[in-house]
């Protein structure tokens, strides 16, 4: 198969090898080194997409990441469909499958193009002015219709099977952009001994050198110098990252790069987060299109893009080109294309007096220059066939090139909070000063000559001596864009934002309607909000807005440059954090045992906890009843390892806890425990847990499972900011201690034979004791505590020893009826005893008194976190919701049910916080927060039922079982 638009020789692609690819069902060929766009152009294919709003046929506009038109769907099999890919940035590979999008039934014949016929009715912002009725017509009729018309490609339908990676890196110098300026910077920095990372978004390094084979640097032909330079950089151990876009510039020189590695077997994308001592931006510049009628017709292209296709890829984008050159670079493109074999029909230069040297050269080359003329409109259908000049002349061509001047790529500099200044001579915003350690070099600061680029790069890289030399180029000039766009607002179909179909007249309309800020213009017209992020449209739009307002461009302002610089894949940003690695599940040391026992698990914070251990034929409810009964009648064994643990150590440890918890701690004797309550500054309960004093200067603090990190964070926060004078050190020990709870009347009998060096009889080791000892020979901290109301112990041992101890206890306990129980039985058992669970009985609005825990508050304490808030009048009201027990009649209410004073009441007086079937009482029980509840004992209240009659409940004391505490103290 021949590629009719491929030049006979030249260009970077490796012509010795052929790659086959498919676009819209047709198979084409190309070469390694081609992009999808260059390979399509080699076959004369310009029509590659349809625009967003009017579904107009669109061709390839550019040769880079700024491409607004040639967006295609890539399909690499199930889960590997990728919408909105810029054909100009897709490296060609064998078997590549691409499709056009946003068209039906075909790219050439798209029914959606009917909207183009109605374009007069659909100016910028038309949707704000209509579709408001009747009735719900907006959401029922118009909105679904608009949604179907909008969008571009199709979202992937299946989960993506590919891998993604992330890396952090540090370096002395990060160079962004591997054109001449970037290469010179990297060379200078690396020669000076710096650790350097050089990245470039293109598949090949070299930037503009890739399309300048004829240039000479340091005495060598450009491409040869490039080879030598890259070889030297490799030798100097510079990390070279081609196919890598620096897309985000964060605080303190943290730059994020998205790499699309070439190797098929590696990750599909790699996110680099680079902290650089210094950043050199050599990001180049982007050519501006020009607005005229039909400037969006396939075959209308940026002039420099056509030059790049010819010289870098060996592809002529047409046979006969007309060039609209408002800037000198249009001439350079025309001369280069002519040299590559393209016929130049004419150069139309809107400037009345184009530079004499260019005119002379054009004349010498036999190229007609129409000075003082622009393009009135393009001619043709789905491909350009010619143009009418503003002078009324018809010129035939199959390629119409636009050279509207250059926009330096200041995105990253701006993201670095760099200030921009308007440079009238270069007709552009240029980098000024930045708070970060960042330097710019080359075209991104308006320096377009090769010599200047090399010199600036060399200097930015910290180079000494002379920069790699090149012929000084001529200083280019152009017609200011604000002049070049004059009259465009009156022209039909003169596009500024090609993808979003924003016309010059739309921008004028927005200004006319009072949208004066450029941010307003952008939002009202959607100019610059397409997937190209306004790379080709922002400055042109700004110029039209300024012209309409009769102001200078700098007076109109500039829209903010936001990250990412170019759209960046979700997959790479998420990296490996998926599936098992998305917040990895934390598993307690006994998790495996529970799993083998067939436990039902529930997610609790980052953990999975065994909820119950159902036996064959048991459902959750039956298992929970059995487990509860076993604990009450014999003994249960429970994995409490997920409880948070913090070791609080230091001479001021007691004083620190005194300030953090409501309880008094100073008089707590070593070897004793206390139930601690922690408040937030606002006086509401935020966490609780048993705290054991191991020594005068050492506390073993436990927290709730979900609160561990939060409590440690809060402690550190106070220690570092409020109480820095305290000599206290905090260590998270959650994962250093596995905790096995033995609860029930037989607990001591079972445990006693295992304990060495400690008498755990009731007399010498009463409730709320703690001691270091050995259990089955294993160093342990043994707590005598209970969350069930039964005689109970919690054995803390090193996690790797826990499974053996657990099994030994199970064996020894079996004759006594020892039964493993899960979190659900634990919840029931503690509710029978009226013990609260923070975040179930409390919700961030509950004071210690509300929860019936006033007894725990150290009344004599001078201060503690939250104390002042507790003194506020609202916190002392007697009608605050207070914890009560509830005895529902008949059925168990839903947790969260609202409590009513009468069945038909419309105002809630509280809510049910916990509700269970109590095996001990053989009836439903509940806990709730009820307004003034402690004074309402014996009253009947009602729990709401979704879609049913409320459940009557008797208000009672929250302790349903063993009020005297005989069992727990046994």
Residue 529, CB-side half-sphere exposure with 13 Å CA sphere: 16
Rule CB under 8 A: is residue 559 a binding residue for another protein? no
CA 19 to each of CA 12, 37, 659, 666: distance values in angstroms, whole numbers, following the listed order: 15, 14, 72, 79
**In this structure, are strands 320-325 and 343-349 parallel, antiparallel, or unpaired?**
parallel
Q: Please identify, using beta-carbon distances, which residue of 211 and 642 lies nearer to another protein.
A: 642
Contact between 129 and another protein per CB under 8 A: yes
Q: Which is nearer to another protein, 736 or 891 (CB)?
A: 891
By CB under 8 A, is residue 273 in contact with another protein? yes
Cβ neighbours, 10 Å, residue 722? 12
Q: What is the DSSP string of 665-724?
A: -TTPPTTBEEEEEEE-TTS-EEEEEEEEEEETTEEEEEE-TTTHHHHHHHHHHHHHHT-T
Contact with another protein (CB under 8 A) among 14, 219, 394, 570: 570
Cα distance between residue 422 and residue 431, in whole Å: 9
Residue 173 in contact with residue 461, Cβ under 8 Å?
yes
We find the least distance from the C-beta atom of residue 703 to another protein, in angstroms, to be 16
| Minimal distance, residue 693 CB to another protein, in Å | 31
Nearer to another protein, 498 or 665 (CB): 498
Select from 414, 404, 391, 403 the least CA-distant residue to 543: 404
Listed ranges 227-235, 369-377, 438-446, 511-519: which one lies at the site for another protein (CB under 8 A): 511-519
Question: Residues 93, 520, 710, 861: which binds another protein (CB under 8 A)?
Answer: 520
Contact pick of 121, 353, 356, 763 for another protein (by CB under 8 A): 121
Residue 663 binds to another protein (criterion: CB under 8 A): no
Residue with tokens 């509950």: 846
Burial class (CB in 10 A: 0-12, 13-18, 19+), 122: middle
Q: Closest CB to another protein among 142 and 422?
A: 142
Which of 757, 844, 890, 965 touches another protein by CB under 8 A? 844
- The residue (of 474 and 562) whose beta carbon lies closer to another protein is 562
CA angle 787, 790, 793 (to 5 degrees): 70
Min. distance of Cβ 204 from another protein in angstroms? 23
Which token pair is 402?
Answer: 């636009």
Residue 256 in contact with another protein, rule: CB under 8 A: yes
Question: Distance of CA 391 to CAs 376, 394, 481, Å?
Answer: 8, 9, 20
In angstroms, how far is CA 912 from the centroid of its own chain? 38
Cβ nearer to another protein, comparing 82 with 790: 82
Token pair 């014999």 is at which residue?
Answer: 634
Q: Which of 193, 341, 603, 903 binds another protein (CB under 8 A)?
A: 603
Give the H or E element holding residue 235: helix 222-235
The CA distance from 925 to 701, in Å, is 31
Instruction: Provide the Cα torsion 867, 869, 870, 873; round to 10°.
Output: 150
Q: Does 77 bind another protein (CB under 8 A)?
A: no
Tell me which of 319, 382, 563, 586 binds another protein, using CB under 8 A: 563
CB 870 within 8 Å of CB 934 = no
Binding positions for another protein, 814-843, rule CB under 8 A: 839-840, 843
In the range 371-430, which residues lie near another protein by CB under 8 A?
Answer: 415, 417
Q: How many residues sit in the footprint of another protein (CB under 8 A)?
A: 113
Give alpha helix (H) positions in 312-438.
329-340, 356-364, 411-415
Contact call for residue 583 and another protein (CB under 8 A): yes
Contact, 722 vs 710, CB < 8 A? no
Closer Cβ to another protein, 559 or 819, answer by number? 559
Residues 28-57 that bind another protein (CB under 8 A): 52
Q: How far apart are CA 645 and CA 641, in angstroms?
A: 9
In angstroms, give the least distance from the CB of 924 to another protein. Answer: 16
Residue 52 or 406: which CB sits closer to another protein? 52
Tell me which residue has tokens 């997920």: 642
From the CB of residue 837, how many other CB atoms can be counted at a distance below 10 Å?
A: 17
Work out the burial of residue 934: count CB atoms within 10 Å of its CB; fewer than 13 is exposed, 13-18 middle, 19 or more buried. Answer: middle
80 binding another protein? (CB under 8 A): yes
Shortest Å distance, C-beta 574 to another protein: 5
Selected from 450, 509, 590, 691, the binder of another protein by CB under 8 A is 509
Query: Please, what is the minimum distance in Å from the beta carbon of residue 270 to another protein?
Result: 13
Contact status: 558 vs another protein (CB under 8 A) = no
What residues from 522 to 551 belong to the interface with another protein (CB under 8 A)? 523-524, 526, 529, 531, 533
CB contact at 8 A, 86 and 63: no
Q: Which of 568, 704, 819, 956 binds another protein (CB under 8 A)?
A: 568
Contact region with another protein (CB under 8 A), list: 106-114, 142-150, 473-481, 663-671: 142-150
Q: Determine the interface stretch with another protein among 342-350, 437-445, 576-584, 633-641 (rule: CB under 8 A).
A: 576-584
Q: Is there binding between residue 204 and another protein (CB under 8 A)?
A: no
Q: Report 666-695 residues binding another protein (CB under 8 A).
A: 681-684
> Which position among 24, 224, 513, 647 is part of the footprint of another protein (CB under 8 A)?
513
Q: Are 374 and 389 within 8 A, CB to CB? A: yes
- For residues 315 and 685, which CB has a smaller minimum distance to another protein in the complex? 685
Q: How far is the CB of 942 from another protein (least distance, A)?
A: 11
Residue whose CB is less far from another protein, 348 or 915: 915
φ, ψ (nearest 5 deg) of residue 502: -95, 120
Could you give the CA distance from residue 281 to residue 440 in angstroms, rounded to a whole number?
5
> Which parts of 855-914 interact with another protein (CB under 8 A)?
869, 872-875, 894-898, 900, 906-908, 911
Minimum CB separation of residue 40 from another protein in Å reads 21
Cα separation, 852 vs 829, in Å, equals: 18
Cβ nearer to another protein, comparing 160 with 954: 160
Q: Does 621 bind another protein (CB under 8 A)?
A: no
Nearer to another protein, 120 or 669 (CB): 120
- With CA atoms as reference, report the closest residue to 913 among 873, 876, 953: 953
Nearer CB in complex with another protein: 182/950: 950
When binding is defined by CB under 8 A, the residue of 15, 22, 44, 160 that contacts another protein is 160
Supply 827's token pair. Answer: 């919840």
Tell me the residue ranges of DSSP E strands in 251-365.
254-259, 269-281, 285-287, 300-302, 320-325, 343-349
Per DSSP, the three-state class of 510 is helix
Using CA atoms of 236, 238, 243, 244 in order, give the dihedral in degrees to the nearest 10. Answer: -170
**Binding segment (CB under 8 A) for another protein, from list 34-42, 105-113, 276-284, 507-515:** 507-515
**Stretch of 249-257, 443-451, 691-699, 808-816 contacting another protein, by CB under 8 A:** 249-257
Q: What is the dihedral of CA 679, 684, 687, 688, to 10 degrees?
A: 80
CB nearer to another protein: pick between 503 and 743: 503
Question: Residue 254 interacts with another protein (CB under 8 A)?
Answer: yes
In angstroms, rounded to a whole number, what is the distance separating the alpha carbons of residues 702 and 663? 14
Position among 16, 117, 159, 860 found at the interface with another protein (CB under 8 A) = 159
Residues 6+ positions from 881 with CB-CB distance below 8 Å: 845, 846, 850, 909, 910, 929, 930, 931, 933
Distance from C-alpha of 573 to C-alpha of 256, rounded to nearest angstrom? 10
Which residue in 32, 44, 151, 469 binds another protein (CB under 8 A)? 151
Judged by beta carbon, residue 733 or residue 869, the one nearer another protein is 869
Q: Does 283 participate in binding another protein (rule CB under 8 A)?
A: no
| Residue 791: CB minimum distance to another protein, A | 28
Does residue 131 bind another protein (CB under 8 A)? Answer: yes
Which lies closer to another protein via its Cβ, residue 232 or residue 602? 602
């Amino acid at each position: 198969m021949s590629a009719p638009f491929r030049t006979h020789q030249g260009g970077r692609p490796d012509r010795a090898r052929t790659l086959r690819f498919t676009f819209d069902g047709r198979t084409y060929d190309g070469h390694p080194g081609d992009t999808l766009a260059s390979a399509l152009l080699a076959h004369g294919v310009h029509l590659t997409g349809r625009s967003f709003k009017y579904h107009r046929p669109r061709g390839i506009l550019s040769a880079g990441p700024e491409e607004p038109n040639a967006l295609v769907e890539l399909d690499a099999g199930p889960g590997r469909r990728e919408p909105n890919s810029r054909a100009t940035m897709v490296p060609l590979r064998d078997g590549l499958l691409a499709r056009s999008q946003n068209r039906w039934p075909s790219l050439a014949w798209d029914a959606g193009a009917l909207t183009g016929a109605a374009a007069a009715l659909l100016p910028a912002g038309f949707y704000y002015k209509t579709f408001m009725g009747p009735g719900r017509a907006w959401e029922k009729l118009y909105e679904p219709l608009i949604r179907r018309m909008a969008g571009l490609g199709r979202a992937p339908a299946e989960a993506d099977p590919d891998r993604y990676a992330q890396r952090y890196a540090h370096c002395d110098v990060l160079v962004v952009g591997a054109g001449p300026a970037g290469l010179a910077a990297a060379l200078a920095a690396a020669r000076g001994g710096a650790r350097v990372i050089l990245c470039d978004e293109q598949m090949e390094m070299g930037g503009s050198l890739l399309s300048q084979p004829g240039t000479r640097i340091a005495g060598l032909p450009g491409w040869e110098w490039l080879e030598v330079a890259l070889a030297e950089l490799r030798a100097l151990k510079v990390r070279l990252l081609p196919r890598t876009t620096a897309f985000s510039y964060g605080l303190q020189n943290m730059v994020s790069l998205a790499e699309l590695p070439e190797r098929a077997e590696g990750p599909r994308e790699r996110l680099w987060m680079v902290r650089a001592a210094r950043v050199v931006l050599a990001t180049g510049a982007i050519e501006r299109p020009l607005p005229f009628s039909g400037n969006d017709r396939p075959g209308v292209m940026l002039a420099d893009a056509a030059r790049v296709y010819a010289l870098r890829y060996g592809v002529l984008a047409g046979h006969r080109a007309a060039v609209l050159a408002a800037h000198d670079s249009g001439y350079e493109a025309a001369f280069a294309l002519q040299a590559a074999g393209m016929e130049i029909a004419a150069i139309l230069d809107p400037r009345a007096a184009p530079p004499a040297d260019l005119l002379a050269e054009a004349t010498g080359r036999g190229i007609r220059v129409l000075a003082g003329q622009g393009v009135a409109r393009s001619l043709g259908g789905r491909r350009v066939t010619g143009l009418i000049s503003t002078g009324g002349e018809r010129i035939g061509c199959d390629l119409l090139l636009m050279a509207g001047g250059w926009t330096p790529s200041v995105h990253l500099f701006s993201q670095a909070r760099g200030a921009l200044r308007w440079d009238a001579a270069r007709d552009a915003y240029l980098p000024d000063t930045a708070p970060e350690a960042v330097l710019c070099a080359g075209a991104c600061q308006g320096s377009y000559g090769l010599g200047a680029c090399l010199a600036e790069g060399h200097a930015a890289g910290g180079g000494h001596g002379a920069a790699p030399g090149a012929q000084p180029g001529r200083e280019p000039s152009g017609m200011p864009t604000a002049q070049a766009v004059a009259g465009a607002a009156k022209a039909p179909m003169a596009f500024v934002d090609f993808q979003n179909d924003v016309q010059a007249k739309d921008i004028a309309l927005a200004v006319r309607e009072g949208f004066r800020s450029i941010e307003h213009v952008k939002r009202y017209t959607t100019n610059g909000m397409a997937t190209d992020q306004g790379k080709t449209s922002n400055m042109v739009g700004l110029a039209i807005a300024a012209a309409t307002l009769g102001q200078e461009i700098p007076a109109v302002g500039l829209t903010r440059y936001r990250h990412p610089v170019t759209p960046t894949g979700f997959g790479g940003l998420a990296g490996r954090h998926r599936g098992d690695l998305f917040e990895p599940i934390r598993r307690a040391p006994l998790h495996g045992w529970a799993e083998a026992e067939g436990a039902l698990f529930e997610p609790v914070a980052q953990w999975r906890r065994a909820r119950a251990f159902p036996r064959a034929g048991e459902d959750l409810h039956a298992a929970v009843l059995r487990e509860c009964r076993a604990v009450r009648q014999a003994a249960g064994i429970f994995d409490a390892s997920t409880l948070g643990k913090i070791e609080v150590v230091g001479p001021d440890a007691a004083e620190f806890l005194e300030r953090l918890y409501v309880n008094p701690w100073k008089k707590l004797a070593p070897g004793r425990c206390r139930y601690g309550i922690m408040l937030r500054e606002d006086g509401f309960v935020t966490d609780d847990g048993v705290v054991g004093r191991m020594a005068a200067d050492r506390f073993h603090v436990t927290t709730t499972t979900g609160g561990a990190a939060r409590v440690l964070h809060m402690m550190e926060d106070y220690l570092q900011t409020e109480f820095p004078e305290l000599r206290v050190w905090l260590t998270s020990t959650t994962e250093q201690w596995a905790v096995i709870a033995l609860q029930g009347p037989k607990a001591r009998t079972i445990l006693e034979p295992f304990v060495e060096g400690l008498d755990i009889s009731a007399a010498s080791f009463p409730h709320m004791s703690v001691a270091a000892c050995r259990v089955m020979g294993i160093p342990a901290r043994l707590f005598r505590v209970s969350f069930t109301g039964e005689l109970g112990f919690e054995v803390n041992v090193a996690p790797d020893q826990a499974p053996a101890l657990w099994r030994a206890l199970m064996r020894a306990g079996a004759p006594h009826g020892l039964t493993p129980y899960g979190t659900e039985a634990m919840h029931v058992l503690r509710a029978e005893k009226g013990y609260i669970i923070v975040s179930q009985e409390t919700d961030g609005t509950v004071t210690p008194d509300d929860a019936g825990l006033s007894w725990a508050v150290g009344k004599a304490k001078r201060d503690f976190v939250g104390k002042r808030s507790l003194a506020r009048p609202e916190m002392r009201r007697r009608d605050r919701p207070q914890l009560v027990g509830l005895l529902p009649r008949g059925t168990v209410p839903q947790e969260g049910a609202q409590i009513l004073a009468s069945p038909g009441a419309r105002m809630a007086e509280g809510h049910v916080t916990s509700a269970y079937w109590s095996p001990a009482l053989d009836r439903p029980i509940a806990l709730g927060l009820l307004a003034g509840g402690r004074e309402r004992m014996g009253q009947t209240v009602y729990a709401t039922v979704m879609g049913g009659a409320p459940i009557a409940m008797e208000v009672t004391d929250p302790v349903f079982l063993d009020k005297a505490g005989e069992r727990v103290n046994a």
